[in-house]
Amino acid sequence: MVYVMSIVKYPPHIAKELIKFYVSGKAPKYPDFVKRTHQWVVSDYHYKTYNIYEIPKDKLYEGIKGIAKRLSAFTEFEGYVYKVIPLMEGPEAMEMIK
- The model's pLDDT over 65-74, given as tens digits with 9 standing for 90+, comes to 999 999 999 9
Distances (CA, A) of 3 to 35, 54, 75: 10, 5, 24
The pTM of this model reads 0.88
List the one residue out of 2, 13, 4 whose CA is nearest residue 51.
Answer: 4
Contact between residue 61 and residue 14 where contact means Cβ atoms under 8 Å apart? no
Distances (CA, A) of 85 to 25, 45, 51, 67, 96: 24, 22, 10, 10, 18
Would you state the pLDDT for residue 3?
Answer: 95
How large is the average pLDDT for residues 13-38?
95
> Cα angle at 37 between 17 and 57, to 5 degrees?
115
Contact between residue 33 and residue 56 where contact means Cβ atoms under 8 Å apart? yes
Given CATH 3.30.530.20, say whether it is the number of domain 2-88.
no
Would you state the pLDDT for residue 34?
Answer: 98
Per the prediction, the chain carries an average pLDDT of: 93
